[in-house]
């Protein structure tokens, strides 16, 4: 048996269909006031917590808790007495650990706030047109649809929505609920909102929403390196989506800096992209990129072979470029498998190398390599006269497909090796000629 924590805002009197109620202000209570949750089905032990905001801004929240135990799966009423507190306090949210029945989580269907034992009626809730864009700015608040909590703001934090209607207990009430819609006009649910006015004594902690100025939402600092992984997406110059600045086809597999992100009301996230020269490129849908762990960008899968063709490159252990793993001069003209490519923000491309045993070898700038047609590596000029010393070995017509014959025919004969290949499997192969006639490829171990 396991438990799942569910978060809900305490709301009043949800029995009336289609109406919503409100958490009440508890002020200078001379007698304890009761908060209770109904319709909570539990198994085993759980704890019912009531969270109150502080009467002084920035101070710790009051928590009143009570343990509840059920011998079997049953519906229980959980209550917590709110003691007399000086100043003003709002019931912010409750947390109830809910049991599992037949491996199905039984959620807290809704909570009801009682003041001095009396439920506040829903008839007091007044609806008014609002039509403002809001951004979900805080976690741990419930999202209600009618009489049920259907989610919380943890999963939609940072998103922008259109609040079409505001519900208040009274015309001048600072605490309210907003009815939210996404960019496609789909209703999301009710989320609490509370504005602080200068005329009120307490400085309340803001509720789950705060106003966002534009349909794209507020600019959120991001500063992550991303690699473009999809073609066919527009890169926009503005959020009216009328003018394309460029397309992802032209930026494909490049790594760029996303300085800012926007959680748009249409449900998509957009990133503001810059290149390594700090040139702004436009806004792109975040689904068209892959986030990297650093300036190297996102890993791009590969399966190719390269031969080290320069002696002047460092092979690195990481992209901090502080830890040296090897130097190319010590492995000059050897061939390695490349499983991953990184197109660095700087404009350089780095290859992740693996040796003949499949062991990771390190990262190298691709300028220190040359891509081969296969695991044989690149052709290296050789121009040596060799003698076939062993019989019975295959002479290949290609790597490693068609056979041209065996070394038996040429045993003890001198041939010209014009080119050699240092294969990724650790072997070296020679391209042999008899005069001007090409003989084929043979393992160098067959010759002397």
Which pLDDT value is given to residue 132? 83
302-350 confidence digits (pLDDT tens): 999 999 999 999 999 999 999 999 999 999 999 999 999 999 999 999 9
In which element (H, E) is residue 250 found? helix 248-251
Any idea which fold 4-121 has? Jelly Rolls (2.60.120)
Among 140, 75, 146, 138, CA closest to 108: 75
Closest CA to 193 of 168, 160, 161: 168
What pLDDT, on the 0 to 100 scale, is given for residue 180?
Answer: 85
CA pair distance 275, 297, nearest whole angstrom: 12
Low-confidence ranges of the chain (pLDDT < 70): 1-126, 139-142, 144, 146-152, 168-176, 193-214
6 — phi, psi (to 5°)?
Answer: -120, 135
Bridge partners (DSSP) listed for residue 132: 163
300-371 under CATH 2.30.30.170, yes or no: yes
Residues across the chain: 448
Q: Which two tokens stand for residue 69?
A: 């135990």
**Pair 429, 412: CB distance under 8 Å:** no
Provide the whole-model pTM: 0.62
CA–CA dist 113, 38 (Å, integer):
10
220-291 CATH choice from 3.30.710.10, 2.40.50.140, 3.30.2130.10, 2.30.30.170: 2.30.30.170
Supply the DSSP string of 253-317, one letter for each residue. T-EEEEEEEEE-TTS-EEEEEE-TT--EEEEEEGGGEEE-SSTT-S-EEEEEEEEE--SS-EEES
Record the tokens describing residue 85, joined without a space.
């507190």
Would you give the distance in Å from CA 181 to the centre of its chain?
A: 24
- Which top CATH class is 124-211? mainly beta
d(CA 378, CA 383): 15
- CB count within 10 Å of CB 389 equals 12
Cβ neighbours, 10 Å, residue 214:
13
Residue 324 is predicted with a pLDDT of: 96
Give the pLDDT of residue 50.
Answer: 43
Among candidate residues 320, 319, 254, the one with its CA nearest the CA of residue 284: 254
The pLDDT value recorded for residue 427 is 94
Residues 87 and 51: beta-carbon distance below 8 Å: no
Please give, one letter per residue, the 3-state secondary structure of 374-436: CCCCCCEEEEEEEEECCCCCEEECCCCCCEEEEHHHHECCEEEEEEEEECCCCCEEEEEEECC
Q: Which of 280, 282, 279 is nearest to 270 (CA)?
A: 282
Closest CA to 239 of 223, 260, 224: 260
Task: Map tokens 């490693």 to a residue.
Answer: 400
Q: What does 115-169 look like in DSSP terms, one character per residue?
A: ETTEEPPGGG-EEEEEEEEEEE--SS-EEEETTEEEEETTTTTT-EEEEEEEEES
């Amino acid at each position: 048996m396991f438990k799942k924590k569910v978060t809900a805002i305490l709301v009043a009197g949800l029995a009336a269909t289609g109406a919503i109620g409100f958490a009440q202000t508890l002020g200078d209570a001379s007698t304890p006031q009761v908060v209770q949750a109904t319709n909570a089905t539990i198994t085993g032990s759980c704890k019912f917590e009531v969270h109150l905001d502080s009467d002084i801004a920035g101070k710790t929240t009051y928590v009143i808790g009570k343990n509840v135990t059920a011998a079997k799966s049953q519906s229980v009423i959980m209550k917590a007495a709110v003691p007399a507190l000086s100043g003003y306090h709002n019931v912010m949210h409750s947390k109830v650990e809910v049991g599992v029945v037949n491996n199905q989580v039984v959620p807290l269907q809704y909570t009801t706030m009682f003041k001095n034992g009396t439920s506040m009626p829903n008839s007091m809730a007044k609806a008014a047109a609002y039509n403002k864009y809001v951004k979900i700015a805080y976690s741990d608040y419930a999202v209600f649809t009618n009489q049920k909590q259907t989610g919380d703001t943890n999963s939609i934090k940072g998103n922008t929505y259109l609040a079409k209607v505001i519900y208040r207990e009274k015309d001048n009430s600072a605490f309210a609920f907003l009815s939210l819609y996404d960019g496609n006009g789909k209703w999301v649910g009710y989320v609490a909102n509370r504005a602080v006015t200068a005329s009120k004594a307490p400085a309340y902690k803001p509720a789950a929403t705060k106003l966002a100025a534009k349909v794209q939402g507020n600019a959120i600092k991001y500063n992550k390196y991303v690699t473009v992984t999809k073609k066919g997406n527009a890169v926009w110059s503005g959020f009216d989506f009328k003018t394309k600045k460029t397309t992802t086809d032209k930026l494909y597999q490049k790594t760029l800096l996303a300085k800012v992100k926007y959680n748009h009301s249409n449900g998509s996230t957009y990133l503001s992209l810059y290149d390594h020269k700090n040139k702004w490129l436009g806004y792109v849908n975040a689904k068209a990129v892959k986030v990297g762990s650093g300036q190297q960008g996102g890993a791009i899968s590969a399966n190719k072979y390269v031969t080290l063709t320069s002696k002047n490159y460092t092979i690195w252990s990481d992209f901090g470029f502080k830890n040296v793993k090897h130097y190319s001069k010590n492995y000059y003209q050897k061939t390695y498998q490349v499983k991953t490519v990184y197109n660095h923000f700087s404009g350089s491309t780095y290859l992740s190398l693996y040796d003949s045993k499949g062991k990771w070898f390190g990262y190298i700038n691709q300028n220190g390599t040359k891509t081969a047609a296969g695991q044989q590596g690149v052709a290296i000029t050789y121009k040596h006269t060799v003698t076939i010393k062993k019989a019975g070995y295959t002479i290949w017509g290609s790597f490693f497909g068609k056979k041209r014959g065996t070394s038996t025919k040429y045993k003890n004969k001198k041939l010209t090796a014009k080119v050699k290949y240092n294969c990724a499997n650790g072997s070296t192969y020679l391209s042999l000629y008899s005069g001007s006639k090409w003989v084929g490829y043979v393992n160098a171990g067959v010759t002397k």
